[in-house]
Amino acid sequence: MTDRVPSSKAESSPAAEPGKRLLIKGQQTKAVIIDAALGLASQIGLEGLSIGAVAEVTGMSKSGVFAHFGSREELQISVIREYHDRFESSVFYPAMQKNRGVPRLQAMFDNWMVQTSAEIDSGCIYISGAVEFDDRSGPVRDALASSVATWQTALRRAVELAQAEGQLIREADAHQIAFEIHGLILALHYEARFLRNPAATDHARRGFAHILARYAVKT
């Protein structure tokens, strides 16, 4: 038989190239918009975001921005997802390279502190967003709460692994330990950003050391 299933070369055919280039250009433009929107949200909050404000920052038309995000709400959610992806890349994934247990938990906290310290002048979307949407309902709040919950679950899981490794007391409540660690970051952000306390980072480090010592398995 001479009939053969034709190989799929549509993607590389001359007719397909213009469409492919348009798709890539569209994705790149959308990434530029999200990056600008994230920077804007860090300064003025998620609630301050608007199609018009982002258009002004990027030098695009409102219709151009709207073509990528059909609504202000969709833009806000995209910013939350982008922030979460960057947070994971700088805080979570590097810590996963450490040994499970206290070394990994320590790395997560250290990376988190670096992230928080870097955001002192701009602001943390998780924290500022919680203030803006704590008494609201809707997709934006849901997206924000889901991102924060995902991180809290990862933090609690790291605590549980440290307990499984025999480094932290097994009988201790992992939720409580994670809660206390989260509290240190909130205090660090408040002290450093609002009160401009230069010792805030040192206090947070000592606080974390105290938590580890309090829940450590005694040998």
Tens-digit pLDDT profile for the chain (219 aa)?
444 444 444 444 555 576 666 556 667 889 999 999 999 999 899 998 999 999 999 999 999 898 998 899 999 999 999 999 999 999 999 999 999 999 999 999 999 999 998 888 888 999 999 999 999 999 999 999 999 999 999 999 999 999 999 999 999 999 999 999 999 999 999 999 999 999 999 999 999 999 999 999 987
Tell me how far apart the alpha carbons of residues 200 and 193 are, in angstroms, rounded to a whole number.
9
Structural domain contains residue 1: no
Asked if residue 31 is part of any domain, the answer here is no
**How confident is the model at residue 6, as a pLDDT?**
42
Contact 45, 129 (CB under 8 A): yes
Do 191 and 145 contact (CB within 8 A), yes or no? no
How high is the pLDDT of residue 24?
A: 64
Whether 19 is covered by a domain: the verdict is no
CATH number at residue 121: 1.10.357.10
Total number of domains in the chain: 1
Contact 34, 86 (CB under 8 A): no
Helices H, strands E: what count in the chain? 10, 0
CA 120, CA 112: separation in Å to the nearest integer?
12
Q: Is residue 198 part of a domain?
A: yes
Any domain includes 193:
yes
In a domain, 37, yes or no: no
- DSSP H or E segment with residue 152: helix 139-164
Angle at which helix 174-189 crosses helix 102-118, to 10 degrees, equals 20
pLDDT at 7: 46
Q: Is residue 53 domain-resident?
A: no
Whole-model pTM: value is 0.84
Residue 63 lies in a domain: no
Range of the domain at 192: 72-215
